Structure 1
Amino acid sequence: MTNPNLPNITSGISRRGILQGSAAVGAMALAGPLGAGSAHAQPKKGGVFRVAIAAGNTNENYDPGTWDNQYVQVFATARHGYLVEITADGDLIGEVAESWGASDDATVWTFKIRKGVEFHSGGTVTPEDVIASIDYHRGEKSTSAAKPFVQPIKDMKADGDSVVFTLEAGNADFPFVVSDYHLPIMKAKDGKLDPTSSDGCGPYKVANYEPGVIAELVRNPNYWKTDRAHFDEVKLLTIVDPAARQSALLTGNVDVIDQVDLKTVGLFGRAPNVTILSTTGTQHYTFAMDTRAAPFNDNNVRMALKHAVDRQGLVDKILFGYGSIGNDHPISPSNRFYAKDLEQTTYDPDKAKYYLKQAGLDSLKVKLSAADAAFGGAVDAAVLYSSSADKCGIDIQPVREPNDGYWSDVWMKKPFCAVYWGGRPTEDWMFSTAYASGAPWNDTFWENERFNKLLLEARSELDDAKRAEMYGEMQNLVRTDGGVVIPMFASYVMAHTNNVAHPEKVAANWTLDGFRACERWWFA
C-alpha cells in the first residue's frame, strides 16, 4: 500500500455552470479507495450501518448554528436535506433545490424548490421553509457559525415555487455557500424554526440520540432519492480514542471508522476484513494563536513561531506521508485560486531568532494545548514542534488536554492550541468562516483591514484573473500576518470492513464521503 500525497491540482469552476445550476468542474481532488474490491458492486438495500467517529461530546444538540465537528456534521446530513449537494467530483447538483440561476452581476439568485420533498413529520418542503431555514442564521442576535456567509443576503422572498435571494453584492460562489452543513432545510412554523427539533427531510429519521454517545436512525420510507439511503438503520457512535475505534472495527462492533491512527495504519490495513480508504482535499491541521493575547499580539512572535516548526518532519512522523506541508494559510493545492508561487515559510532557527529579537526578546516560553480530539497525533505533533522550536530559543510546553470537551473548553479558550479544519470548497467560504473580522470561528481573533477589504471585493469580482490576484494577496496576508501556524494538509484516512461498499469515487471535501456515507454507501 502506497501513501497518497496531495496532488498539485488547480481545478477550474465554470462560472456559467454555477450561475445556471449545471455541473461545475470540481474544486476538490481525491484518491480512490485502496483495496476496496466491493466498491463497484450494485447497491442493495438492508442492514444496520454502524460508524465510529472520532468526535462528539455531551454538549451537542440539534441547533444547526452550533455544529462544530465531524460527528454532528455526519449526523446532520443523515437526517437533513440541503438546497444543493456537492458531489464526489466536486460538482454542484440540486437537492431540495431542483435548479437555480442568477442575474448577470450575480447579486440575485433564484432557486426553484423541488416538489414532493417530504419532512419526516409530514408535509412537503415549501419556499417558506427554505427562507426560514436560512434566515435563522442571519440578524444581529444570531450566534450561528454560518452568520458570516449568509449575512450578505439582503432579502429573501418566495416567488411561486422558487426562492429569490438578493445579495448586498455579487457572489459567483453563492450556490456553494448554501451547501454548508449549517444550513439544512428545516420545517418552519409561523416563519420560525425550532432549533430543538430532530425533524428533517433527509434520508434517515432519528429514533434515539444521546449526545456524545450514540445517534440511532431509521430509513425514511418517503425519501425522494430512490437510489440512496440503502441501510435499514444507521448507528453513529462517538469513539474518540483511536485504539478503541480501531479495535471496534477489528472485533466487528462497527462497520466504518474515521481518522485511522496513522502510526499503525500499515499493520491495521493488513488485518483480515479491513479496507483502508484515503482521500485528499482541503483538510488541514493548525496551531492557532489568540492574537489578542500576549505574546501572540506581536506579529514578530507569530513569525518566530512559524519559522520554528519542522513542517516536513510533521508530515513524515505525524501523517506518515498521508498529506503535504502547509504554508500558514488554509487554501490547498486543490482549491481553484491556490497561490502556488507564494514563498514557502521554512524551518529556520536563525529567522526565528531574528523575529524574537525584533520583538525585544532573547527567548520565549509558551504553552501549547493539544489533544487527539483536535486531530490524530496532535499531542505528538506538539511535542515535535517543541523539539524543533527549542533550537530557535523558544520553549514550547505541550499541555495534554482532555479529549472530552476539547472543542468547548479549549478551542478558542486557550491562547495557543491544536485545531483541525476540514477546509472549504471555495476561498471565500474558508476565509469568511475562520479569518474574517468578527467571524464566530475566527479562532485566532485576527483583524486585518486590508484582508477584510479584499474579502468583500473578491467575493463580488467576476473576473477570474482579478479574483486570483486578490485571493493570492489574501493568502500571503494570512501567511505573514495571521495568527495561525498551518504546518500540514492531511488526507482523510478511514477504514471499513470488506462487506461495506461505496461508489467508485468518494468525496474528499469532508471525511466519510463528504459526510454522506450514510446516504451513499451500502452493504455488498
Structure 2
Amino acid sequence: MTKRWNKIGRAAFAAALMLSAGYAEAAGILSIGRREDSTTFDPIKSAQNVDNWVFSNVFDVLVRVDKTGTKLEPGLAESWTLSDDGLTYTFQIRDAKFSDGSPITAEDAAFSLLRIRDHEGSLWSDSYKIIETAEAADPKTLVVKLTTPSAPFLSTLALPNVSVLSKKAVEAGEDAFAELPTASSGAFTVKEWRRGDRVILEKNPNFWQADRVKLDGVEWISVPDDNTRMLNVQAGQLDTAIFVPFSRVEELKKDPNLTVHIDTSTREDHLLINHEHGMLAKKEVRQALDMAIDKKAIVDTVTFGIGTVANSYIPKGSLYHYDANYQYPYDPEKAKAMLAEAGASDLTLNYVVNAGNEVDEQIAVLLQQQFAKAGVT
C-alpha cells in the first residue's frame, strides 16, 4: 500500500498541513494541487512560477540555492573558481547522466547558457547578456567569461530557466522537447502532460542524487478555484496544495487529520503597471498611486495578519534582500493633489484580476475603494 501524506503549502507564508505520518515515510505518488496548468517544458520560454516549480523537478542547475534561501551550493557544477579579475568562472561538472543514460557534459552546460542568452524565443536573454563566452574546455570543464564582473552572476545560474538541458535532445526538435522532454537532468522525468488537467512525473533512476528521492512520482494537478483545492485536500483527493486562502488557515488548523506548519515566506505581491503611454507614463502619476494605497490595511485584511508589507521585490531572508528601501507614506490627499498637478484628476484605470483567486479579488476591491479617495476610478 502506498503511504500518503497531506500537505497544504502557500508561497505567501508557506503554510503546510500534513498527516502525522510525516515526511520520513513519504513514498509513492505525491499529488500537488495548483491553480494553473503548465505552459511549456522549454525553460527559456516561460517566466511563470507554475512552470518553474515543475522545471525544478525535471531539470537540474549548475548552482543551487540552499534550503535557507541565503546561500549558494553546488549543483551539477561540483566546484568552481573565479579569476582574479572577476571575469572568468571555471566550473567542474560532476559525473552525472541525463535520464536517457547519456552523460551530462560541459558542452551541454555551455549550450544551455548560450541558448538562454541568444535564442529569439528566450524570455531571459537580457539577464544573460553579461556572458561573453561559454565554452567546454573538456567534457567536464566549463569556462564562462563575463563582459564585466558581476556579484550576482552565480545566483543567476540557480534559476530553473537556465537548467542544464541535453543539447542532443533539444536539437532533435525544440517543439517536441517543449511538449515532452526526452532527456531530463533532474529528479524526475515527464511521463505525460494532460493539458488543462495535470503533469505526471516519474522518478529518474539516472539522477545523480536518485538515492535521495523517496517518491516514485509527482502529479501536478490544475484546480483553478482556491476553495475547491482545499476541499480536495481535506477529502484526500489531493496530497498537497499550494495557494492556500489566508481566510482558511485557522479553520484548517482545526482539522484533526492535518498538521499545520508555517514556514518562511518567499512570496511578494505587487502591481504590474503599463506605463508605455497615457497618464501612467508619467512618473508623478505612478508615485501618486503608490501614496494612495494603504498597504498595511490591505496586507492585514487579506492575510488575516499573517503577511507584512513588502519593501523590495526580493523577500526577507533571501539572497540580496535590502531592508532600507524608501517607501512612500500613505497619503491619499497628497496623492490627489499630485494627480491634479499632473493633469490626471479624473484618472480611470482598468485592473485585471485572476478569477477564483481569493486574495487577488479582495485586493482589487480594497484598491478600488482606496483609489477612489484620491479621485481615481
TM-score range normalised by the length of the shorter chain: 0.7 to 0.9
Per mean C-alpha deviation after superposition, the further-off stretch among 219-228 and 241-250 is: 219-228
Residues 1:87 and 2:71 aligned together: no
Q: Give the counterpart letter for 1:80 in structure 2.
A: F
Residue of structure 2 aligned with 1:50, choices 24, 31, 40: 31
Residues 191 and 285 of structure 1: is their aligned pair in 2 closer, same or farther, counting only changes over 3 Å?
Answer: closer
| Aligned-residue CA RMSD (Å) | 2.4
Cα separation, 2, equivalents of 1:32 and 1:376: 16
1:321 corresponds to which residue?
305
Cα separation, 1, equivalents of 2:322 and 2:334: 23
Q: Secondary structure at the match of 2:350?
A: strand
Deviations for 1:49-104, whole angstroms, at most 9, x for unmatched residues?
111112225xx122211223233222211111111221112222212111111112
Q: Secondary structure at the match of 2:349?
A: strand
Q: Secondary structure at the match of 1:165?
A: strand
Q: Secondary structure at the match of 1:136?
A: helix
Cα separation, 1, equivalents of 2:199 and 2:319: 36
2:185 corresponds to which residue?
201
2:153 corresponds to which residue?
174
Cα separation, 2, equivalents of 1:343 and 1:44: 47
Residues 1:393 and 2:375 aligned together: yes
Query: Per-residue deviation at 1:175?
Result: 1.6
Q: Give the counterpart letter for 1:71 in structure 2.
A: V
Q: Give the counterpart letter for 2:31 in structure 1.
A: R
Whether contact under 8 Å (2:279, 2:344) holds in the other structure is: no
Query: Per-residue deviation at 1:227?
Result: 4.0
Cα separation, 1, equivalents of 2:248 and 2:16: 18
The 5 A counterparts of 1:235-246 are 235-246=219-230
Deviations for 1:126-172, whole angstroms, at most 9, x for unmatched residues?
11111111111122x52312212211100011122210000000112
The 5 A counterparts of 1:147-296 are 147-160=125-138, 161-189=140-168, 192=171, 194-195=173-174, 196-197=176-177, 198=181, 199-296=183-280
Q: Give the counterpart letter for 2:273 in structure 1.
A: M
Residues 226 and 143 of structure 1: is their aligned pair in 2 closer, same or farther, counting only changes over 3 Å?
Answer: closer
Query: Per-residue deviation at 1:204?
Result: 1.3
Residues 144 and 193 of structure 1: is their aligned pair in 2 closer, same or farther, counting only changes over 3 Å?
Answer: farther
Cα separation, 2, equivalents of 1:165 and 1:269: 49
Per mean C-alpha deviation after superposition, the further-off stretch among 173-182 and 143-152 is: 143-152
2:329 corresponds to which residue?
346
Query: Per-residue deviation at 1:356?
Result: 0.8
Whether contact under 8 Å (2:99, 2:205) holds in the other structure is: no
Query: Per-residue deviation at 1:357?
Result: 1.8
Kindly indicate whether structure 1 or structure 2 has the higher relative contact order, using CA contacts under 8 Å at least 6 residues apart.
1
Residues 1:114 and 2:94 aligned together: yes
Cα separation, 2, equivalents of 1:228 and 1:213: 28
Cα separation, 1, equivalents of 2:26 and 2:295: 45
Q: 1 or 2, which has the higher helix percentage?
A: 2
Query: Per-residue deviation at 1:390?
Result: 1.2
The 5 A counterparts of 1:382-461 are 382-395=364-377
1:96 corresponds to which residue?
76
Q: Give the counterpart letter for 1:158 in structure 2.
A: A
Cα separation, 2, equivalents of 1:383 and 1:172: 41
Residues 336 and 233 of structure 1: is their aligned pair in 2 closer, same or farther, counting only changes over 3 Å?
Answer: closer
Query: Per-residue deviation at 1:330?
Result: 1.8
Whether contact under 8 Å (2:60, 2:160) holds in the other structure is: no
Residue of structure 2 aligned with 1:378, choices 329, 348, 360: 360
Residues 1:367 and 2:350 aligned together: yes
Cα separation, 1, equivalents of 2:60 and 2:171: 18
Cα separation, 2, equivalents of 1:385 and 1:49: 38
Residues 271 and 33 of structure 1: is their aligned pair in 2 closer, same or farther, counting only changes over 3 Å?
Answer: closer
| Matched-pair identity in % | 24
Cα separation, 2, equivalents of 1:70 and 1:296: 27
Q: Secondary structure at the match of 1:71?
A: helix
Residues 1:301 and 2:285 aligned together: yes
* Runs of at least 5 residues in structure 2 that lack an aligned partner in the other structure: 1-12
Whether contact under 8 Å (2:43, 2:52) holds in the other structure is: no
Residues 353 and 54 of structure 1: is their aligned pair in 2 closer, same or farther, counting only changes over 3 Å?
Answer: same
2:103 corresponds to which residue?
124
Residues 337 and 96 of structure 1: is their aligned pair in 2 closer, same or farther, counting only changes over 3 Å?
Answer: closer
Corresponding residue pairs, total: 358
Residues 246 and 351 of structure 1: is their aligned pair in 2 closer, same or farther, counting only changes over 3 Å?
Answer: same
* Runs of at least 5 residues in structure 1 that lack an aligned partner in the other structure: 1-29, 396-524
Whether contact under 8 Å (1:64, 1:182) holds in the other structure is: yes
Residue of structure 1 aligned with 2:122, choices 144, 147, 155: 144
Cα separation, 1, equivalents of 2:98 and 2:295: 48
Deviations for 1:446-499, whole angstroms, at most 9, x for unmatched residues?
xxxxxxxxxxxxxxxxxxxxxxxxxxxxxxxxxxxxxxxxxxxxxxxxxxxxxx
Q: Secondary structure at the match of 1:155?
A: strand
TM-score where L is the length of structure 1: 0.64
Query: Per-residue deviation at 1:118?
Result: 1.5
TM-score where L is the length of structure 2: 0.87
